Chain A
Protein backbone atom coordinates (compact mmCIF):
# COMPACT_ATOMS: atom_id res chain seq x y z
CA UNK A 1 0.00 0.00 0.00
CA UNK A 2 1.24 3.48 -0.81
CA UNK A 3 1.74 5.95 2.03
CA UNK A 4 -1.05 8.31 0.93
CA UNK A 5 -3.49 5.42 0.59
CA UNK A 6 -2.68 4.27 4.12
CA UNK A 7 -3.37 7.75 5.49
CA UNK A 8 -6.51 8.14 3.38
CA UNK A 9 -7.96 4.74 4.17
CA UNK A 10 -7.28 4.74 7.89
CA UNK A 11 -10.32 4.87 10.11
CA UNK A 12 -10.64 4.01 13.77
CA UNK A 13 -12.16 0.54 13.55
CA UNK A 14 -14.36 -0.38 16.50
CA UNK A 15 -15.80 -3.71 15.38
CA UNK A 16 -13.37 -6.57 14.77
CA UNK A 17 -13.77 -10.12 13.55
CA UNK A 18 -13.19 -11.94 16.82
CA UNK A 19 -12.59 -15.20 15.01
CA UNK A 20 -9.88 -14.04 12.61
CA UNK A 21 -6.39 -14.05 14.08
CA UNK A 22 -3.61 -11.69 13.04
CA UNK A 23 -0.56 -13.62 11.81
CA UNK A 24 2.45 -13.06 14.06
CA UNK A 25 4.45 -11.91 11.01
CA UNK A 26 2.10 -8.96 10.60
CA UNK A 27 2.47 -8.04 14.25
CA UNK A 28 6.22 -8.13 13.93
CA UNK A 29 6.11 -6.02 10.75
CA UNK A 30 4.24 -3.32 12.69
CA UNK A 31 6.77 -3.45 15.52
CA UNK A 32 9.68 -3.23 13.09
CA UNK A 33 8.15 -0.04 11.66
CA UNK A 34 7.73 1.43 15.14
CA UNK A 35 11.37 0.68 15.91
CA UNK A 36 12.42 2.95 13.07
CA UNK A 37 10.05 5.79 13.93
CA UNK A 38 11.47 9.31 13.94
CA UNK A 39 12.34 10.69 17.35
CA UNK A 40 14.21 13.80 18.55
CA UNK A 41 17.68 12.94 19.84
CA UNK A 42 17.01 9.35 18.76
CA UNK A 43 15.73 8.77 22.30
CA UNK A 44 13.29 5.95 21.47
CA UNK A 45 11.59 6.08 24.87
CA UNK A 46 8.63 3.86 23.89
CA UNK A 47 8.25 0.51 25.65
CA UNK A 48 5.70 -1.91 24.27
CA UNK A 49 3.95 -5.10 25.33
CA UNK A 50 2.02 -7.15 22.78
CA UNK A 51 -0.90 -9.23 23.99
CA UNK A 52 -2.65 -11.78 21.81
CA UNK A 53 -6.10 -12.08 23.27
CA UNK A 54 -6.51 -15.79 22.64
CA UNK A 55 -3.03 -16.80 23.77
CA UNK A 56 -2.76 -14.99 27.10
CA UNK A 57 -4.06 -16.62 30.28
CA UNK A 58 -7.86 -16.11 30.09
CA UNK A 59 -7.91 -14.89 33.67
CA UNK A 60 -5.36 -12.16 32.89
CA UNK A 61 -7.23 -11.36 29.68
CA UNK A 62 -10.45 -10.79 31.59
CA UNK A 63 -8.65 -8.67 34.19
CA UNK A 64 -7.19 -6.47 31.45
CA UNK A 65 -10.62 -6.11 29.88
CA UNK A 66 -12.24 -5.34 33.21
CA UNK A 67 -9.66 -2.57 33.78
CA UNK A 68 -10.89 -1.06 30.51
CA UNK A 69 -14.59 -1.39 31.38
CA UNK A 70 -14.99 -4.22 28.88
CA UNK A 71 -15.01 -1.77 26.02
CA UNK A 72 -16.37 -3.31 22.85
CA UNK A 73 -13.44 -2.76 20.49
CA UNK A 74 -10.99 -3.96 23.13
CA UNK A 75 -13.01 -7.07 23.78
CA UNK A 76 -13.19 -7.97 20.11
CA UNK A 77 -9.72 -7.10 18.81
CA UNK A 78 -7.44 -10.16 18.71
CA UNK A 79 -4.23 -8.17 19.32
CA UNK A 80 -3.58 -5.46 21.88
CA UNK A 81 -0.34 -3.50 21.66
CA UNK A 82 0.28 -1.57 24.87
CA UNK A 83 2.46 1.52 24.52
CA UNK A 84 4.22 3.00 27.54
CA UNK A 85 6.72 5.84 27.81
CA UNK A 86 9.91 5.39 29.81
CA UNK A 87 10.96 8.70 31.44
CA UNK A 88 14.45 7.26 31.96
CA UNK A 89 14.63 7.01 28.19
CA UNK A 90 14.40 10.79 27.98
CA UNK A 91 16.79 11.85 30.75
CA UNK A 92 19.70 14.20 29.96
CA UNK A 93 22.24 11.38 30.27
CA UNK A 94 20.22 9.27 27.83
CA UNK A 95 20.15 12.18 25.42
CA UNK A 96 23.94 12.43 25.76
CA UNK A 97 24.41 8.72 25.05
CA UNK A 98 22.10 8.78 22.02
CA UNK A 99 23.58 11.95 20.53
CA UNK A 100 27.13 10.59 20.99
CA UNK A 101 26.00 7.70 18.80
CA UNK A 102 24.66 10.14 16.23
CA UNK A 103 27.94 12.03 16.25
CA UNK A 104 29.89 8.77 15.83
CA UNK A 105 27.91 7.81 12.71
CA UNK A 106 28.07 11.29 11.25
CA UNK A 107 24.36 12.03 11.53
CA UNK A 108 24.97 15.16 13.63
CA UNK A 109 27.44 17.17 11.55
CA UNK A 110 30.62 18.44 13.12
CA UNK A 111 30.33 21.35 10.69
CA UNK A 112 27.42 22.63 12.77
CA UNK A 113 29.44 22.26 15.96
CA UNK A 114 28.28 18.83 17.12
CA UNK A 115 30.91 16.95 19.09
CA UNK A 116 30.94 15.00 22.32
CA UNK A 117 32.66 17.75 24.25
CA UNK A 118 30.05 20.37 23.35
CA UNK A 119 27.21 17.97 24.13
CA UNK A 120 28.67 17.00 27.52
CA UNK A 121 29.40 20.64 28.34
CA UNK A 122 25.87 21.72 27.54
CA UNK A 123 24.05 18.90 29.27
CA UNK A 124 26.17 18.43 32.37
CA UNK A 125 27.85 21.84 32.91
CA UNK A 126 25.18 24.12 31.40
CA UNK A 127 27.69 25.54 28.95
CA UNK A 128 26.09 27.77 26.34
CA UNK A 129 25.99 26.16 22.95
CA UNK A 130 27.76 28.05 20.18
CA UNK A 131 25.93 29.76 17.32
CA UNK A 132 24.55 27.25 14.85
CA UNK A 133 23.69 24.73 17.59
CA UNK A 134 20.42 24.11 19.44
CA UNK A 135 20.32 25.46 22.97
CA UNK A 136 20.31 22.00 24.51
CA UNK A 137 21.88 23.37 27.68
CA UNK A 138 18.67 25.30 28.35
CA UNK A 139 16.57 22.32 27.38
CA UNK A 140 18.39 19.52 29.15
CA UNK A 141 20.65 20.77 31.93
CA UNK A 142 18.91 20.01 35.21
CA UNK A 143 15.82 18.74 33.40
CA UNK A 144 13.23 17.70 36.02
CA UNK A 145 12.13 14.08 35.92
CA UNK A 146 8.53 15.13 35.22
CA UNK A 147 9.67 16.91 32.08
CA UNK A 148 11.46 13.77 30.96
CA UNK A 149 8.16 11.96 31.41
CA UNK A 150 6.45 14.58 29.24
CA UNK A 151 9.08 14.25 26.52
CA UNK A 152 8.91 10.45 26.60
CA UNK A 153 5.11 10.60 26.46
CA UNK A 154 5.09 12.97 23.48
CA UNK A 155 7.57 10.85 21.53
CA UNK A 156 5.64 7.67 22.26
CA UNK A 157 2.43 9.25 20.95
CA UNK A 158 4.28 9.81 17.68
CA UNK A 159 5.27 6.14 17.62
CA UNK A 160 1.64 5.17 18.20
CA UNK A 161 0.57 7.20 15.15
CA UNK A 162 3.17 5.45 13.00
CA UNK A 163 2.12 2.06 14.37
CA UNK A 164 -1.47 2.80 13.39
CA UNK A 165 -0.50 3.53 9.82
CA UNK A 166 1.73 0.46 9.77
CA UNK A 167 -1.28 -1.65 10.76
CA UNK A 168 -3.37 -0.14 7.96
CA UNK A 169 -0.51 -0.87 5.60
CA UNK A 170 -0.84 -4.54 6.61
CA UNK A 171 -4.51 -4.52 5.62
CA UNK A 172 -5.66 -4.50 9.23
CA UNK A 173 -8.16 -2.42 11.11
CA UNK A 174 -6.73 -0.41 13.98
CA UNK A 175 -7.90 1.81 16.76
CA UNK A 176 -5.85 3.77 19.27
CA UNK A 177 -7.52 3.22 22.59
CA UNK A 178 -6.98 4.18 26.19
CA UNK A 179 -5.17 1.48 28.11
CA UNK A 180 -7.56 1.44 31.03
CA UNK A 181 -9.70 3.59 33.24
CA UNK A 182 -7.36 6.04 35.00
CA UNK A 183 -8.05 4.39 38.32
CA UNK A 184 -6.99 1.01 36.87
CA UNK A 185 -3.73 2.00 35.21
CA UNK A 186 -1.57 0.67 38.04
CA UNK A 187 -3.40 -2.63 37.92
CA UNK A 188 -2.69 -2.97 34.20
CA UNK A 189 0.98 -2.17 34.79
CA UNK A 190 1.09 -4.94 37.35
CA UNK A 191 -0.61 -7.42 35.02
CA UNK A 192 1.81 -6.58 32.21
CA UNK A 193 4.87 -6.50 34.44
CA UNK A 194 5.62 -2.89 33.58
CA UNK A 195 7.92 -0.93 35.91
CA UNK A 196 6.20 1.64 38.11
CA UNK A 197 8.05 4.51 36.45
CA UNK A 198 6.58 3.83 32.99
CA UNK A 199 3.86 6.20 31.84
CA UNK A 200 0.80 4.67 30.13
CA UNK A 201 0.18 6.16 26.70
CA UNK A 202 -2.13 4.21 24.37
CA UNK A 203 -2.94 0.73 23.34
CA UNK A 204 -3.31 -0.06 19.68
CA UNK A 205 -6.06 -2.54 18.97
CA UNK A 206 -5.62 -4.41 15.73
CA UNK A 207 -7.49 -7.07 13.85
CA UNK A 208 -9.56 -7.60 10.76
CA UNK A 209 -12.49 -5.18 10.61
CA UNK A 210 -15.98 -6.60 11.00
CA UNK A 211 -17.41 -3.25 9.96
CA UNK A 212 -17.08 -1.50 6.64
CA UNK A 213 -14.38 1.08 7.41
CA UNK A 214 -16.08 3.58 5.10
CA UNK A 215 -19.58 3.06 6.41
CA UNK A 216 -19.30 5.68 9.11
CA UNK A 217 -18.36 8.26 6.52
CA UNK A 218 -15.74 10.92 6.92
CA UNK A 219 -14.73 11.87 10.40
CA UNK A 220 -15.20 15.63 10.46
CA UNK A 221 -11.90 17.48 10.09
CA UNK A 222 -11.16 21.09 10.91
CA UNK A 223 -10.92 23.34 7.87
CA UNK A 224 -7.41 23.53 6.37
CA UNK A 225 -7.24 27.29 6.90
CA UNK A 226 -8.15 26.98 10.55
CA UNK A 227 -5.13 24.78 11.22
CA UNK A 228 -2.37 26.04 8.95
CA UNK A 229 -1.03 29.59 8.90
CA UNK A 230 1.72 31.17 6.88
CA UNK A 231 4.43 33.27 8.51
CA UNK A 232 2.09 34.47 11.20
CA UNK A 233 -0.76 32.80 13.08
CA UNK A 234 -4.13 33.69 11.60
CA UNK A 235 -2.84 34.31 8.09
CA UNK A 236 -4.07 31.12 6.38
CA UNK A 237 -1.67 29.04 4.32
CA UNK A 238 -2.92 29.31 0.75
CA UNK A 239 -4.63 26.07 -0.28
CA UNK A 240 -4.36 25.07 -3.92
CA UNK A 241 -7.31 22.89 -4.96
CA UNK A 242 -5.21 21.32 -7.72
CA UNK A 243 -2.94 19.86 -5.05
CA UNK A 244 -5.96 18.48 -3.25
CA UNK A 245 -7.13 16.84 -6.47
CA UNK A 246 -3.67 15.38 -7.10
CA UNK A 247 -3.53 13.92 -3.61
CA UNK A 248 -7.00 12.44 -3.98
CA UNK A 249 -5.93 10.83 -7.25
CA UNK A 250 -2.98 9.31 -5.39
CA UNK A 251 -5.19 7.86 -2.67
CA UNK A 252 -5.45 10.52 0.03
CA UNK A 253 -9.18 10.61 0.08
CA UNK A 254 -12.17 9.80 2.17
CA UNK A 255 -14.81 9.58 -0.50
CA UNK A 256 -18.08 10.35 1.21
CA UNK A 257 -19.11 13.00 3.69
CA UNK A 258 -22.04 11.15 5.18
CA UNK A 259 -22.47 7.71 6.70
CA UNK A 260 -23.52 5.16 4.12
CA UNK A 261 -27.32 4.73 3.98
CA UNK A 262 -27.16 1.30 5.60
CA UNK A 263 -24.77 2.32 8.39
CA UNK A 264 -27.25 1.94 11.23
CA UNK A 265 -28.49 -1.38 9.87
CA UNK A 266 -24.88 -2.50 9.90
CA UNK A 267 -24.44 -1.35 13.49
CA UNK A 268 -27.62 -3.13 14.52
CA UNK A 269 -26.41 -6.31 12.85
CA UNK A 270 -22.96 -6.10 14.43
CA UNK A 271 -24.37 -5.44 17.90
CA UNK A 272 -26.63 -8.46 17.59
CA UNK A 273 -23.94 -10.66 16.14
CA UNK A 274 -21.63 -10.02 19.09
CA UNK A 275 -24.34 -9.80 21.75
CA UNK A 276 -24.44 -6.10 22.57
CA UNK A 277 -27.63 -4.24 23.44
CA UNK A 278 -29.50 -2.42 20.67
Chain B
Protein backbone atom coordinates (compact mmCIF):
# COMPACT_ATOMS: atom_id res chain seq x y z
CA UNK B 1 0.00 0.00 0.00
CA UNK B 2 1.41 3.38 -1.01
CA UNK B 3 1.73 6.24 1.43
CA UNK B 4 -1.02 8.07 -0.47
CA UNK B 5 -3.45 5.19 -0.18
CA UNK B 6 -2.54 4.80 3.44
CA UNK B 7 -3.32 8.45 4.15
CA UNK B 8 -6.65 8.27 2.34
CA UNK B 9 -7.59 5.36 4.56
CA UNK B 10 -6.60 7.09 7.73
CA UNK B 11 -8.49 10.26 6.90
CA UNK B 12 -8.27 13.65 8.55
CA UNK B 13 -8.38 12.45 12.16
CA UNK B 14 -5.41 10.22 11.73
CA UNK B 15 -3.60 12.87 9.73
CA UNK B 16 -3.69 15.04 12.85
CA UNK B 17 -2.10 12.22 14.83
CA UNK B 18 1.28 12.61 13.15
CA UNK B 19 3.83 13.97 15.58
CA UNK B 20 4.87 16.77 13.23
CA UNK B 21 1.25 17.88 12.79
CA UNK B 22 0.66 17.93 16.53
CA UNK B 23 3.80 19.93 17.16
CA UNK B 24 2.89 22.38 14.41
CA UNK B 25 -0.61 22.91 15.75
CA UNK B 26 0.55 23.17 19.36
CA UNK B 27 3.24 25.76 18.67
CA UNK B 28 1.10 27.90 16.39
CA UNK B 29 -1.99 27.71 18.61
CA UNK B 30 0.01 28.67 21.65
CA UNK B 31 0.69 32.04 20.02
CA UNK B 32 -2.07 32.66 17.55
CA UNK B 33 -5.11 30.54 18.52
CA UNK B 34 -6.20 29.73 15.01
CA UNK B 35 -9.79 28.64 14.49
CA UNK B 36 -10.75 25.04 13.80
CA UNK B 37 -12.01 26.13 10.40
CA UNK B 38 -8.64 27.61 9.53
CA UNK B 39 -6.85 24.48 10.65
CA UNK B 40 -9.09 22.34 8.48
CA UNK B 41 -8.10 24.45 5.48
CA UNK B 42 -4.42 24.31 6.38
CA UNK B 43 -4.43 20.58 6.92
CA UNK B 44 -6.19 20.07 3.62
CA UNK B 45 -3.41 21.96 1.81
CA UNK B 46 -0.69 20.07 3.66
CA UNK B 47 -2.42 16.79 2.94
CA UNK B 48 -2.43 17.59 -0.78
CA UNK B 49 1.27 18.44 -0.61
CA UNK B 50 2.02 15.17 1.17
CA UNK B 51 0.08 13.27 -1.46
CA UNK B 52 2.04 14.96 -4.21
CA UNK B 53 5.27 14.01 -2.46
CA UNK B 54 3.89 10.57 -1.60
CA UNK B 55 5.25 10.91 1.92
CA UNK B 56 3.69 11.39 5.32
CA UNK B 57 4.29 14.65 7.26
CA UNK B 58 6.77 13.10 9.66
CA UNK B 59 8.83 11.71 6.79
CA UNK B 60 8.94 15.10 5.08
CA UNK B 61 10.12 16.86 8.23
CA UNK B 62 12.70 14.17 8.97
CA UNK B 63 14.14 14.55 5.47
CA UNK B 64 14.08 18.34 5.51
CA UNK B 65 15.83 18.45 8.86
CA UNK B 66 18.54 16.00 7.97
CA UNK B 67 19.35 17.11 4.42
CA UNK B 68 19.58 20.80 3.52
CA UNK B 69 19.58 20.12 -0.22
CA UNK B 70 16.42 18.08 0.15
CA UNK B 71 14.81 20.90 2.13
CA UNK B 72 15.61 23.37 -0.65
CA UNK B 73 14.16 20.96 -3.20
CA UNK B 74 10.98 20.76 -1.14
CA UNK B 75 10.70 24.54 -1.28
CA UNK B 76 11.17 24.50 -5.06
CA UNK B 77 8.47 21.88 -5.44
CA UNK B 78 6.28 23.83 -3.03
CA UNK B 79 6.30 26.80 -5.39
CA UNK B 80 5.20 24.62 -8.28
CA UNK B 81 2.56 22.98 -6.09
CA UNK B 82 1.07 26.33 -5.03
CA UNK B 83 0.80 27.43 -8.65
CA UNK B 84 -1.31 24.37 -9.41
CA UNK B 85 -3.80 25.48 -6.75
CA UNK B 86 -4.28 29.04 -7.98
CA UNK B 87 -3.18 31.49 -10.66
CA UNK B 88 -3.27 34.38 -8.18
CA UNK B 89 0.32 35.04 -6.95
CA UNK B 90 -0.82 36.42 -3.58
CA UNK B 91 -3.04 33.42 -2.89
CA UNK B 92 -0.28 31.09 -4.06
CA UNK B 93 2.08 32.81 -1.62
CA UNK B 94 -0.46 32.15 1.15
CA UNK B 95 -0.58 28.47 0.25
CA UNK B 96 3.21 28.33 0.30
CA UNK B 97 3.20 29.97 3.72
CA UNK B 98 1.02 27.22 5.14
CA UNK B 99 3.65 24.65 4.25
CA UNK B 100 6.49 26.98 5.31
CA UNK B 101 4.81 27.37 8.70
CA UNK B 102 4.66 23.59 8.97
CA UNK B 103 8.38 23.34 8.21
CA UNK B 104 9.47 26.22 10.45
CA UNK B 105 7.48 25.12 13.47
CA UNK B 106 8.98 21.67 13.15
CA UNK B 107 12.50 23.05 13.25
CA UNK B 108 13.23 23.02 9.51
CA UNK B 109 14.22 26.61 8.89
CA UNK B 110 13.29 27.99 5.49
CA UNK B 111 13.64 31.41 3.91
CA UNK B 112 10.54 33.55 4.19
CA UNK B 113 9.79 36.55 2.03
CA UNK B 114 6.89 38.99 2.04
CA UNK B 115 4.45 39.33 -0.83
CA UNK B 116 6.31 40.34 -3.97
CA UNK B 117 4.26 43.54 -4.26
CA UNK B 118 5.12 44.64 -0.72
CA UNK B 119 7.08 47.69 -1.90
CA UNK B 120 4.36 48.96 -4.16
CA UNK B 121 1.60 49.23 -1.63
CA UNK B 122 -0.03 52.52 -0.91
CA UNK B 123 -1.45 51.60 2.49
The residues of A with any CB-CB pair to B shorter than 8 Å are 18-19, 53-54, 69-70, 72, 75-76, 264-265, 267-268, 274-278
Contacts and interface: CB of A to CB of B under 8 A. Distances in A.
A18 B122 CA distance: 9
Contacts of B112: 70, 72, 276-277
Contacts of A54: 119
Interface of B: 28, 31-34, 90, 93-94, 97-98, 100-101, 104, 111-115, 118-119, 121-123
Contact of B118 (A265, A268, A275): A275
Given A19-B123, A278-B32, A69 B114 contact: no
B122 A19 contact: yes
B44 to A, nearest CB: 16
Main secondary structure of the interface of B (DSSP, over half): helix
Given A69-B111, A276-B97, A278-B97, 18 more contacts: A18-B118, A18-B119, A18-B121, A53-B119, A54-B119, A70-B111, A70-B113, A72-B112, A75-B114, A76-B118, A274-B114, A275-B94, A275-B118, A277-B100, A277-B104, A277-B112, A278-B28, A278-B34
Contacts of B101: 277-278
A40 to B, nearest CB: 41
A180 B73 CA distance: 24
A56 to B, nearest CB: 11
Nearest to A268: B32
B42 to A, nearest CB: 9
A53 B32 CA distance: 31
